[in-house]
A and B are shown apart, each in its own frame.
Chain A
Amino acid sequence: MKFTLDWLKDHLDTNASIEEIRATLDQVGLEVEGIENPAEQLADFVIAKVDHAEPHPNADKLRVCTVNDGTTTHQVVCGAPNARTGLIGVFAKPGVYVPGIDMTLSKAKIRDVESFGMLCSERELELSDEHDGIIDLPEDMASRIGERFVDVMEMNDPVFDIAITPNRPDALGVRGVARDLAAAGLGTMKPAIEGMTSDDGFDCPVEIDLRFAADMAHACPVFAGRYIRGVRNGPSPEWMQRRLRAIGLRPINALVDITNYVSYDRARPLHAYDADTLNGTIHARLGKEGESFVALNGETYEVDDEITVIADDNGVLGVGGVMGGESTGSSVDTVNVFYESAYFDPVRTAISGRRTEINSDARYRFERGIDPQSEIEGANLAAHYVKDICGGEVSAIAIAGAEPDHALTIAFDPALVAKLTGLDVKASECTRILKALGFTVSGKGKALKVRVPSWRPDVHGPADLVEEVIRIVGIDTVPSVAMTRDIGVARPVMTPRQLRVRRARRTLAARGMVEAVTWSFITKPLATHFGGGADALELANPISSELSTMRPSLLPGLLDAARRNRDRGFGDVALFEVGQVYAGDGAEEQFTSVAGVRVGTAELGGAGRDWNGAAGTVDTFDVKADAAAVLSALGLDAGKVQISRSAPAWFHPGRSGTFQLGPKNQICHFGELHPLTCEALDLSPGAVAFELTLEKLPQPKAKTPSKPAVDLAELQPVRRDFAFVVDANVAAGDIIRAASGADKKLITDVVVFDVFEGESVGAGNKSVAIEVTLQPRGRSMTDDEIDAVSQKVAAQVKKSTGGALRS
């Protein structure tokens, strides 16, 4: 919403400075987005006369002008076709900044003739796109030569640009803005122009009607209009054009400019019909399937029974509250004009607007809520301005329907202000403010009765009245008050889940992985590849197909980030993310995932070459270690969690595994990715990854901080090595489990220190070497006792894996 200071002063009697107005607008909730004074930018341009214009000696199209700026004369080379002796135009000296060409003028030599300044076109002053010639002012401007252009044109009028929140349709008019400022103490309201009295004039020859079923009558409850015959349409007066131009509207002709002017002045949209193009009764109703019309913007729109239309006996003319039709709009040739001033329901207007996809100023206003009491005033204002500007003869008002019921009286205890804000505002001040804003206040003490003005559809209850009071008083005057807090040390607040998320992040970062945050939505093919892509998880209105489907896994996003890094020349990356993944759209189907990828040589010890040993290519065990580290950090003993060989299809079928608790609860997959996965993401084969679902972990057990007593055995542990030859398919984990189980009391650790396949152990076999640690207690073990345990280890391993001791 824009307005000029001069325009504001039509409604507000004030001496406030620009800065005071800015601060007060901000305070009351009409946020100032900018204040521009065109005069500042154009301050150095003056009215000047071309005393002589002679042909340029070296160029046919140029003229050498002697320009008189009232003080002295300047030689100016000018290329404009209309540069001539006697022209009165706008002149800029060297050193002046010309906004339209974004250049500061300097002395110049044009085809060997010196030029000291510029005669300007409208485009060079950013007044319009006009650039066919320089500004050519009427001859009566001769008396003003030497004066500033902005003064002569009365452009010294700052333009305010304010953001209007959706609850304040009344502030979409200058008068509404003025009312807030007056209430905040910045001046007093001036009486408004009232328009022509309703009953004056001949009977309106245009019949109007409302044709709705009873349950839809609210769509357009009232329709008023006035007919003016014999008008002389043409350009609107300069003052009106200047204001419209200042707020960014293009003047068209008087009849149209009047509708725009009343809209911005009073927040009252109007529509002007060329009455001679109307056929029969103008009426508002719902559209019918198959109907269409050509709108003012030249486009054809179909309507239906969700849309409020204005029609005559020939069919649909326009969409009520949204846009009128091309064929019935007023034009410069219009002689008899009919102004519509109606009330269209905000919800129905929004629906009509959405279904036709028309965005217009009228829609914007009706969607937010027009003053339901303003229809007659609007028609009368239109009549006033038309009569004034275009002449003609005005009919009496025609009205169909009645203004919608908007009466609301709120019981209000002024003490609520202090209760909600902490600021004690006197009841008398509350009353003053509310009255200044147009509320009617009656009653006494704690039982005020506050009647809401028709133009404030946003005010429903006591809390809204508190807002009215506090925004006018100023929220900055509310004192800060410390919140109550527990005496003593603040208590921990994080949930076990939140702690796990934090620990997972810092564990992985401590393992050299870099945390990324990737989009929650990915392409549908990738989502499908990673087990997702259900229709229910597709966006109905994605911004692109790249970001169209909710991710079932963090891996595609991470791998895609790895690919982009590779494309930038960084092929060795270790990335992780902790974030939501989506198996469905219910709350219980959205999980927190912890996932990481390693690509290239991004091993734990760092990537790439080094004099002290180059990093190897990442493999399954790099990410198994990452996954195990996270599981440990989250309170699981990774050594005790089962590992199965099943992993989802996007992993390599042989080089992947799953940590699981019991047969069904798969908590974390890890391993090399399937070559097809890498291909889908344009990565070289061999990328490795893990992904853990936080919700699948058992809740951490509540426990005291105290730890169990440490076992500091006095005797040295005894270590024995074994090498077993087993079938190549035997899992090392089974050997470890068997060996550990041989004597659960004595054996404290089993470490695999070598795995070997080769001819010496026979085809289809492998050798697995383990170191078993025995912890004697109380007394040293004898050689016989050690041998006995060793035999048990060998026997257990043989029993469960078929492995024989390697000779």
Chain B
Amino acid sequence: MQAPKGSAHMSTSDTDLATLEHDLLSELDGAGDLAALENFRVSALGKKGRVSDLMKTLGKLPADERRAFGQSVNGLKQRVSEALDARKAALGRAAMDARLATEIADVTLPVRPGPEALGRIHPISQVWDELTEIFADMGFSVAEGPDIESEERNFDKLNIPSSHPARQEMDTFYLRGSEPSVAREEGTRKVLRTHTSPVQVRTMEAQDPPIRIIAPGRVYRSDSDQTHTPMFHQVEGLVIDESTHMGHLKWCLEEFCKAFFEVDSVKMKFRASHFPFTEPSMEVDIGYAKVGDEVRIGEGDLWMEILGCGMVHPQVLRNVGYDPDKVQGWAFGVGIDRIAMLKYGMPDLRAFFSGDMRWLRHYGFLPTEVPSLAGGLSS
């Protein structure tokens, strides 16, 4: 059987093409860098390259062979071109890998902590915020007042007359005043408030019941030893309405202690006591366990005194213009520094006011540690 005319020629050309393709692809594999690749591109696919040369022979072919030959050459051209691209990419990647292999950061070099990790909130401020959270939930707002108070608001209005022994025992700081000898006799000296109770007085003077406030703040007593500093912090609470009673006071303090110390239950012991501004008056002990140096509130069978409280004395109500037959209420007071020490295990009160960076860094709180009831106060 005779082969169709031209087929012999075509098969010859196909063989040439196959050989050329093989040669070109081998050459490509041998190109080791981008420059060799460019040389190859010019010599293979350039205007005067070998593939282009082949195309130029197209015109010499018989018309019936041109089409098929042309398609074969184009196929060759495309495959070589693709192989070139692939080779180029591979070489580029290899070059990048080689470069990256030399780019090494010593990741063990330390980074500096940012300011947000360096700054601290003082434990007193943190506990103040915690108290605000807890009592806000129970409907208390926060009242504040001046540190320098009149004797009248610090003592007299609170049913502590000048002759009262409590007034001596409080170790009050008196301001010198411009005319000390004159003011002294009149009982109108200025004092550094010995408690935040004058804030209660101010609140009651300024508004009618119902009242629910806490009054946190700095207070001062002329006392200085291991467990006493001449300045410390106190939070007092005051509730006045027509019928609130000692049962509510107990509930409030129990809820407060549970929330503040973040425990499910607390044991509290209410003992009768005496304060001139409350009647009846109580002191409250809280149950705790001691594990090593750590105090654990809500566990164990030891007791410590934690706060004083009572029903607001009728005379105090009268002093602010209330009628004790129509309204009644209760108040309590607790040391902020004291409960901060208990909760966070700080041993020495004096260190609170030392400004020692080591202490502040250790016991202070991050600015991002904002107490919330939803998140747990200290988490």
Q: Please report A residues at the B interface, Cβ cutoff 8 Å.
A: 26-29, 31, 165-168, 346-347, 350-351, 354, 367-368, 419-423, 458, 461-464, 466-467, 470-471, 475-476, 478-483, 485-486, 490-495, 498, 502, 505-521, 535-543, 547, 550, 557-558, 560-562, 564-565, 568, 570, 573-575, 578-580, 582, 585-587, 590, 604-606, 610-612
Query: Is B129 an interface position by the 8 A CB rule?
Result: yes
Query: Please, which residues of chain B bring their CB within 8 A of the CB of A590?
Result: 146-148
A480 touching B115 by the CB < 8 A rule? no
Query: Please, which residues of chain A bring their CB within 8 A of the CB of B176?
Result: 535-540
Query: Please, which residues of chain A bring their CB within 8 A of the CB of B169?
Result: 166
* Assembly CA distance A579 to B190 (angstroms): 19
A509 touching B274 by the CB < 8 A rule? no
Query: Is B138 an interface position by the 8 A CB rule?
Result: yes
- How many Å from the CB of A523 to the closest CB on chain B? 14
Query: Is B102 an interface position by the 8 A CB rule?
Result: no
B230 touching A547 by the CB < 8 A rule? yes
Query: Is B281 an interface position by the 8 A CB rule?
Result: yes
B243 touching A419 by the CB < 8 A rule? yes
A494 touching B136 by the CB < 8 A rule? yes
* Assembly CA distance A490 to B135 (angstroms): 10
Contact (A493, B243) CB under 8 Å given A167-B274, A483-B252: no
A517 touching B271 by the CB < 8 A rule? no
A540 touching B175 by the CB < 8 A rule? yes
In the complex, the chain A residue whose C-beta lies closest to that of B117 is A512
Query: Please, which residues of chain B bring their CB within 8 A of the CB of A604?
Result: 115
Query: Please, which residues of chain A bring their CB within 8 A of the CB of B111?
Result: 612
Complex interface bits, B254-269 against A, C-beta within 8 A gives 1, otherwise 0 = 1000000000000001
B279 touching A515 by the CB < 8 A rule? no
Query: Please, which residues of chain B bring their CB within 8 A of the CB of A578?
Result: 125
* Assembly CA distance A578 to B222 (angstroms): 23
In the complex, the chain A residue whose C-beta lies closest to that of B313 is A463
B280 touching A467 by the CB < 8 A rule? yes
Q: Pick the interface stretch among B31-39, B50-58, B349-357.
A: B349-357
Query: Please, which residues of chain A bring their CB within 8 A of the CB of B360?
Result: 514-516
A512 touching B115 by the CB < 8 A rule? yes
Q: In the complex, which residues 273-298 of chain B have their Cβ closer than 8 Å to any Cβ of chain A?
A: 273-274, 279-283
- How many Å from the CB of B330 to the closest CB on chain A? 9
A498 touching B250 by the CB < 8 A rule? no
B246 touching A612 by the CB < 8 A rule? no
A568 touching B246 by the CB < 8 A rule? no
B177 touching A568 by the CB < 8 A rule? no
Given contacts A27-B271, A539-B192, 13 further A-B contacts (CB under 8 A): A347-B163, A421-B280, A478-B247, A480-B254, A481-B247, A493-B140, A498-B144, A516-B122, A535-B178, A538-B176, A578-B125, A580-B146, A611-B110
- Please, how many residues of chain B have a CB less than 8 angstroms from a CB on the other chain? 92
Query: Please, which residues of chain A bring their CB within 8 A of the CB of B142?
Result: 493-495, 498
B356 touching A490 by the CB < 8 A rule? no
Query: Please, which residues of chain A bring their CB within 8 A of the CB of B139?
Result: 483, 485-486, 490-491, 493
Query: Is B220 an interface position by the 8 A CB rule?
Result: yes
A467 touching B279 by the CB < 8 A rule? yes
- How many Å from the CB of A416 to the closest CB on chain B? 10
B246 touching A475 by the CB < 8 A rule? yes
Query: Please, which residues of chain B bring their CB within 8 A of the CB of A570?
Result: 357-358
Which 6 A-B pairs have CB atoms at the shortest separation, nearest pair first? Answer: A561-B355, A422-B247, A512-B115, A29-B272, A471-B272, A467-B280
B164 touching A520 by the CB < 8 A rule? no
* Assembly CA distance A540 to B139 (angstroms): 40
Which of A471, A493, A515, A535 is within 8 Å of B122, CB to CB? A515
* Assembly CA distance A515 to B125 (angstroms): 9
Complex interface bits, B306-329 against A, C-beta within 8 A gives 1, otherwise 0 = 000001011000000000100010
* Assembly CA distance A168 to B239 (angstroms): 27
* Assembly CA distance A795 to B113 (angstroms): 46
Contact (A166, B164) CB under 8 Å given A540-B180, A542-B173: yes
A483 touching B280 by the CB < 8 A rule? no
A-B contact pairs, 20 of them (CB 8 A): A350-B163, A351-B163, A420-B245, A463-B279, A463-B324, A467-B281, A476-B270, A493-B140, A493-B141, A502-B129, A506-B370, A520-B218, A520-B220, A536-B175, A537-B148, A538-B176, A540-B175, A543-B224, A561-B355, A585-B177
Which of A28, A458, A471, A611 is the most central at the interface, judged by chain B CB atoms within 10 Å of its CB?
Answer: A471
Query: Please, which residues of chain A bring their CB within 8 A of the CB of B173?
Result: 539-542
Q: Pick the interface stretch among B9-17, B40-48, B78-86, B361-369.
A: B361-369
In the complex, the chain A residue whose C-beta lies closest to that of B355 is A561
Which of A28, A422, A495, A520 is within 8 Å of B272, CB to CB? A28
Which of B166, B355, B368 is within 8 Å of A558, CB to CB? B355
* Assembly CA distance A478 to B330 (angstroms): 15
In the complex, the chain B residue whose C-beta lies closest to that of A348 is B163
B273 touching A505 by the CB < 8 A rule? no
A478 touching B357 by the CB < 8 A rule? no
Q: Please report B residues at the A interface, Cβ cutoff 8 Å.
A: 109-116, 118-122, 124-125, 129, 132, 136-142, 144-148, 163-166, 168-169, 173-178, 180, 189-190, 192, 218, 220, 222, 224, 230-231, 239, 243-248, 250-252, 254, 269-274, 279-283, 311, 313-314, 324, 328, 352-358, 360-361, 364, 366-368, 370
Query: Please, which residues of chain A bring their CB within 8 A of the CB of B357?
Result: 514, 565, 570, 573, 575
Which of B119, B174, B247, B313 is within 8 Å of A540, CB to CB? B174
- How many Å from the CB of A754 to the closest CB on chain B? 26
A505 touching B252 by the CB < 8 A rule? no
B146 touching A516 by the CB < 8 A rule? no
Which of A166, A495, A606 is within 8 Å of B113, CB to CB? A606
Query: Please, which residues of chain B bring their CB within 8 A of the CB of A579?
Result: 218
B370 touching A490 by the CB < 8 A rule? no
In the complex, the chain A residue whose C-beta lies closest to that of B241 is A484
* Assembly CA distance A467 to B169 (angstroms): 23
Query: Please, which residues of chain B bring their CB within 8 A of the CB of A423?
Result: 246-247
Which of A471, A485, A565, A605 is within 8 Å of B356, CB to CB? A565
Query: Please, which residues of chain B bring their CB within 8 A of the CB of A492?
Result: 136
Contact (A536, B178) CB under 8 Å given A515-B120, A519-B353, A565-B357: yes
A585 touching B355 by the CB < 8 A rule? no
Which of B144, B274, B280, B354 is within 8 Å of A463, CB to CB? B280
A518 touching B353 by the CB < 8 A rule? yes
Contact (A467, B272) CB under 8 Å given A587-B146, A606-B113: yes
* Assembly CA distance A539 to B311 (angstroms): 33
* Assembly CA distance A770 to B239 (angstroms): 60
B271 touching A31 by the CB < 8 A rule? yes
Query: Please, which residues of chain A bring their CB within 8 A of the CB of B272?
Result: 27-29, 467, 470-471, 475
In the complex, the chain B residue whose C-beta lies closest to that of A493 is B141
Query: Please, which residues of chain B bring their CB within 8 A of the CB of A458?
Result: 274
B280 touching A510 by the CB < 8 A rule? no
- How many Å from the CB of B308 to the closest CB on chain A? 11
Which of A27, A478, A550 is within 8 Å of B246, CB to CB? A478
- How many Å from the CB of A675 to the closest CB on chain B? 23
B190 touching A585 by the CB < 8 A rule? yes
A511 touching B115 by the CB < 8 A rule? yes
A470 touching B280 by the CB < 8 A rule? yes
Which of A354, A467, A512, A562 is within 8 Å of B119, CB to CB? A512
* Assembly CA distance A573 to B359 (angstroms): 13
Query: Please, which residues of chain A bring their CB within 8 A of the CB of B250?
Result: 478-481
* Assembly CA distance A604 to B250 (angstroms): 47
In the complex, the chain A residue whose C-beta lies closest to that of B124 is A517
Which of A29, A495, A516 is the most central at the interface, judged by chain B CB atoms within 10 Å of its CB?
Answer: A516
Contact (A421, B246) CB under 8 Å given A518-B355, A543-B230: yes
A580 touching B218 by the CB < 8 A rule? yes
- How many Å from the CB of B101 to the closest CB on chain A? 24
* Assembly CA distance A24 to B279 (angstroms): 20
* Assembly CA distance A574 to B118 (angstroms): 10
B355 touching A461 by the CB < 8 A rule? no
Which of B110, B251, B281 is within 8 Å of A483, CB to CB? B251
A612 touching B273 by the CB < 8 A rule? no
- How many Å from the CB of B366 to the closest CB on chain A? 7
* Assembly CA distance A347 to B168 (angstroms): 12
Query: Please, which residues of chain A bring their CB within 8 A of the CB of B254?
Result: 480
